[in-house]
Structure 1
Amino acid sequence: MLQTGVGTVAACEAVGITRKTGYRWRAENGGLPPARLAESARSTRFLSLLERQRIASLRGRDLAVREIARRLGRSPSTISRELRRNLRPHDRGIYDGDLAHARARKRARRPRRPLLSREPELRQLIQGKLEEEWSPAQIAAHLRRSIPTGRPGTCATRRSTRHCSTAEKAV
Structure 2
Amino acid sequence: MRAAGVRRLVAAARVGVNPRTAQDWDKGIRKINGSRLHPDGRWVNYKTGVSTHVEGQQAPTVSALEAQLHPRYLTLVEREKIADLRRGNASLREIGRQLGRSASTIKRELDNRSRDGVYRPYAAHRAWSASRSRPKASKLAAEGPLRRYVAAKLQDQWSPEQICHALVEKFPTDESMRVSTETIYQAIYVQARGGLRREVAQALRTGRTRRKPHRQPDQRTQRFSDPMIMISERPAAVADRAVPGHWEGDLIVGTNSQSAIVTLVERSTRYVMLGHLPGGHTAEEVRDVLIPLIASLPEHLRGSLTWDQGCEMAAHKQFTIATGVPVYFCDPHSPWQRGSNENTNGLLRQYFPKSTDLAVHGPEDLELVAQKLNRRPRKTLGWKTPAERLRDLLTAV
**TM-score using structure 1 length:** 0.47
Bigger fraction of residues in strand = 2
Bigger fraction of residues in helix = 1
Larger Cα-atom Rg: 2
**TM-score using structure 2 length:** 0.22
